[in-house]
């Protein structure tokens, strides 16, 4: 990282916040790659200090109490081994600060690369996801829920479609129209096989558990990042999304690899309670719903002055695979076999320990 490159205009506010609000010796910085997120991020530091920090400007859900909760949650989970980046406190002891109508957080910089489809990476991802799902809040931390229910597309598709339509421009409408058959396929599935929400165990979930949000260093998971989506949900939401994003053949190719899924799920099953039949039935609907447009995300992109076309285009490749009738049946069969095998292995281990 070339810290002698000066101070680009995009990081000047981040440097000021780092110094004046968090007391960090930050004199240089550069923007981080943002992908499809609406949040702004910069790495800051100083040429005379080996430490680095990440300053994050929260656009997606800029409620100060919500962001402070996420910082407290990360601190709490780190104490029991969930690999989140270390949270810094501002000069008043809070995990987030509001400056000029913008909400900022600071974390330690964690070296690592994005999680790949290598077996060691998938095992680390499955183990980290199970650790998160086992976590129970301690102390007097008051949860502040996210602003969109996980099941919005499952239960209120018409309202969601109207909300998304209101956020798109005329140029975006042809792309948005391509979602219609996928929403219809989801509705048809749910009409025949409703999701039994009462039998879906809830946990603290990440909400966006893909390789870009998982930093791996050597054989271990160095950090889970981007906590904006953390919320209390059925854990199968995370499991389904992780299977889709980490078990695919590669970027843009959402055919699932049985070997990758087996490795990921085996690692998860080693640390978590068995997945039940109701969770298995919810896998495919959760995968599809996770790829449908999120009004919060689109609104945040608009607020940040960024186009929403890319955010609308990207999920369509996954939906084309998921809602293809032949592939959907094969997918459900494959996931069922893998989950049943993982559950059987878990039961065998329990019997061996108690014999």
Domains in the chain and their CATH numbers?
3-109 (3.30.200.20), 119-354 (3.90.1200.10)
pLDDT at 349 exceeding the cut of 70: no
Q: What values do phi and psi take at 94, rounded to 5?
A: -95, 160
The closest of 283, 311, 286, 310 to 297, measured between CA atoms, is 311
Global confidence as pTM: 0.90
219 and 117 in contact (C-beta within 8 Å)?
A: no
The pLDDT mean for the chain works out to: 89
28 and 17 in contact (C-beta within 8 Å)?
A: no
Tell me the C-alpha distance between 117 and 210, whole Å.
11
Average pLDDT of the segment spanning 284-305: 91
Tell me the C-alpha distance between 49 and 68, whole Å.
27
60 and 70 in contact (C-beta within 8 Å)?
A: no
Give the model confidence (pLDDT) of 222-275 as tens digits: 999 999 999 999 999 999 999 999 999 988 899 889 899 999 999 999 999 888
Q: What pLDDT is stored for residue 60 in this prediction?
A: 85
Q: What pLDDT is stored for residue 301 in this prediction?
A: 86
Tell me the C-alpha distance between 243 and 262, whole Å.
10
Q: 9 vs 173, which has greater pLDDT?
A: 173
Q: 54 vs 148, which has greater pLDDT?
A: 54
Q: What pLDDT is stored for residue 348 in this prediction?
A: 52
pLDDT at 35 exceeding the cut of 80: no
SS3 content of the chain, % helix, strand, coil (to 5): 50, 15, 35
pLDDT level of residue 344 (50, 70, 90 thresholds)? low
Q: What pLDDT is stored for residue 325 in this prediction?
A: 81
Q: What pLDDT is stored for residue 353 in this prediction?
A: 45
């Amino acid at each position: 990282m070339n810290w002698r490159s000066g101070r680009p205009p995009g990081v000047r506010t981040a440097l000021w916040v780092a110094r004046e609000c968090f007391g960090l010796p930050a004199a240089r910085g550069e923007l981080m790659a943002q992908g499809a997120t609406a949040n702004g991020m910069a790495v800051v530091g100083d040429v005379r200090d080996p430490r680095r920090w990440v300053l994050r400007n929260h656009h997606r859900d800029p409620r100060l109490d919500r962001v402070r909760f996420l910082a407290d949650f990360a601190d709490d989970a780190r104490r029991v081994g969930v690999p989140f980046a270390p949270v810094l406190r501002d000069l008043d002891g809070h995990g987030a600060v509001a400056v000029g109508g913008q909400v900022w957080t600071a974390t330690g910089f964690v070296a690592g690369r994005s999680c790949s489809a290598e077996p060691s990476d998938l095992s680390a991802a499955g183990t980290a996801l199970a650790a998160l799902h086992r976590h129970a809040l301690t102390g007097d931390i008051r949860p502040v829920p996210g602003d969109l229910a996980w099941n919005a597309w499952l239960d209120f598709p018409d309202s969601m479609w109207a909300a998304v339509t209101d956020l798109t421009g005329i140029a975006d409408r042809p792309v948005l129209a391509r979602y219609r058959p996928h929403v219809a396929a989801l509705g048809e599935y749910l009409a025949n096989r409703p999701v039994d929400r009462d039998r879906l165990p809830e946990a603290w979930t990440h909400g966006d558990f893909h390789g870009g949000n998982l930093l791996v260093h050597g054989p271990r998971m160095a950090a889970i990042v981007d906590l904006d989506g953390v919320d209390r949900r059925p854990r199968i939401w995370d499991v389904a999304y992780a299977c889709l994003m980490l078990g695919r053949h590669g970027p843009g190719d959402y055919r699932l690899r049985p070997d990758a899924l087996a490795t990921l799920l085996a690692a998860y099953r080693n640390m978590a309670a068995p997945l039940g039949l109701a969770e298995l039935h919810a896998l495919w609907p959760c995968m599809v719903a996770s790829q449908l447009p999120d009004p919060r995300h689109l609104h945040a992109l608009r607020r940040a002055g960024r186009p929403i076309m890319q955010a609308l285009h990207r999920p369509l490749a996954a939906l084309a695979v998921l809602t293809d009738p032949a592939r959907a049946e094969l997918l459900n069969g494959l996931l069922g076999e893998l989950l049943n095998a993982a559950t059987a292995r878990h039961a065998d281990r329990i019997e061996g320990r108690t014999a």
